[in-house]
Amino acid sequence: MALTAGIGGSGSGRRRRGRAKRGALSEINVTPLVDVMLVLLIIFMISAPLLTAGVEVELPKTEASAMQATDEPLTVTVRKDGTIFVMEDAATYDQLGPRLKAMTQGDVDRPIFLRGDAATPYEAMARVMAKLQVTGFTHINLITDTGSGDDAATPVTPAAAEPPTQ
């Protein structure tokens, strides 16, 4: 019995000394890190569109690229029925200038972003732009949606447009 214990003891002792010489095995298991990052990515992808809440309009399509905004922009939205919104609050045509001046504390150099539905009459957009200009705001930006490419890049010329047949 003593012989068996001595053989087993010396064999296990060698293994311990061998591990101690190599040092601790340190590996980073990245699988949980990747799992957490993917969950966070999915959460942000779902919540990001919800954070840009505003008045629902269908913006016209253009070929222009997006602008880089520095501050939170002041937006004026005109729906196709002519309803005007300053940020997300409805306003009348006469309230437009005083409300924006109050929001900017009289800083007329602050840019105003004008959003209009694609079906909004030109007259309504022109009246709002004129009101903003008379109030003193000269940095007026029209917000459009970047087109899908095919429809926006192909202008319809009078020769290409055919009259409807009767």
pTM of the predicted model over 0.75: no
Distance CA 124, CA 137 (A): 17
Summarize pLDDT for 105-126 with one digit per residue, the tens.
Answer: 888 888 888 888 888 888 888 8
In this model, does residue 166 exceed pLDDT 50? no
Q: What is the mean pLDDT of the chain?
A: 74
Tokens of 128: 């709002």
Tokens of 55: 């008045």
Structural domains in the chain, sorted by start: 61-151 (3.30.420.270)
Q: Under a CB-based contact definition with an 8 Å cutoff, are residues 60 and 142 in contact?
A: no
Q: Under a CB-based contact definition with an 8 Å cutoff, are residues 143 and 66 in contact?
A: no
Question: What is the predicted pLDDT for the residue at 118?
Answer: 85
Higher pLDDT, 8 or 99: 99
